[in-house]
Amino acid sequence: MNGFGIVMIVVAVVVLVPLVWVVVTYNRFVRLRQHIRESWSGIDVELKRRYDLIPNLVETVKGYATHEREVLERVVELRNAASANQGSAESQAADETELMRSVGRLFALAEGYPELKADRNFLALQKELSNTEDRIAATRRFYNGNVREMNQLSQMIPTSIIASIFGFKPESFFELSSDAERVVPRVEV
């Protein structure tokens, strides 16, 4: 191999290795962004499922607790606000926290009505809501794991350079306050 061949190899390595690294890093960011979108859609599906269950739960409780109108109306109001939210994960989490606190008050209200607690429809709705909450928690963990990876990648050197060049930004976690998470109904059989 002559001197020109060695120079070409060195130039190729000096140019190609960084170029390949940039392409691989960019593709990693794109893949993560898609994982985040996919995992958010999983959360969205489960939240819509919850939004569909809540009016049925309210109607069942309404039949037994007619004079508790304020609590029931507040649950419906917060459910409508949460289902209409199309904002960031942070704003959705704030709405979900308020909604679940309100649902917690609804379950506390149900405690005062033994015949309601024994109602087959109420128990079925409570069980379905409990299953939905479990699925929301699982999809939230998946989403937050993807967000964590994206945020680490976009803030660590040298990948932060690629993130800033191509406009990849840190994402928001979907976190509920701990008191809202404790509202998850548990059905005792």
Residue 189 lies in a domain: no
Instruction: Give the pLDDT band (50/70/90) at residue 125.
Output: very high
Residue 159 lies in a domain: yes
Instruction: Give the pLDDT band (50/70/90) at residue 176.
Output: confident
Residue 8 lies in a domain: no
Residue 95 lies in a domain: yes
Q: Which domain holds residue 163?
A: 15-181
Sequential DSSP letters for the chain? --HHHHHHHHHHHHHHHHHHHHHHHHHHHHHHHHHHHHHHHHHHHHHHHHHHHHHHHHHHHHHH-TT-HHHHHHHHHHHHHHHH--S-HHHHHHHHHHHHHHHHHHHHHHHT-HHHHT-HHHHHHHHHHHHHHHHHHHHHHHHHHHHHHHHHHHHSTTHHHHHHHHT--PPPP----HHHHTT------
Q: What is the mean pLDDT of residues 34-39?
A: 97
Residue 38 lies in a domain: yes
Residue 141 lies in a domain: yes
pLDDT value, residue 27: 98
Residue 6 lies in a domain: no
User: In whole numbers, what is the pLDDT of the chain averaged over residues?
Assistant: 90
pLDDT value, residue 63: 85
Task: Dig out the tokens for 139 from the structure.
Answer: 């999809």
- Total domains in the fold of the chain: 1
Residue 4 lies in a domain: no
Looking up residue 164, the CATH number of its domain turns out to be: 1.20.1440.20
Of these ranges, 10-19, 36-45, 119-128, the one predicted with the greatest mean pLDDT is 36-45
Distances (CA, A) of 32 to 3, 43, 88, 92, 105: 43, 16, 17, 21, 38
Instruction: Give the pLDDT band (50/70/90) at residue 112.
Output: confident
pLDDT value, residue 189: 42
Q: Is the pLDDT score of 7 beyond 60?
A: yes
- The least confident of 31-45, 74-88, 171-185 is 171-185
Instruction: Give the pLDDT band (50/70/90) at residue 145.
Output: very high
Q: Is the pLDDT score of 54 beyond 90?
A: yes
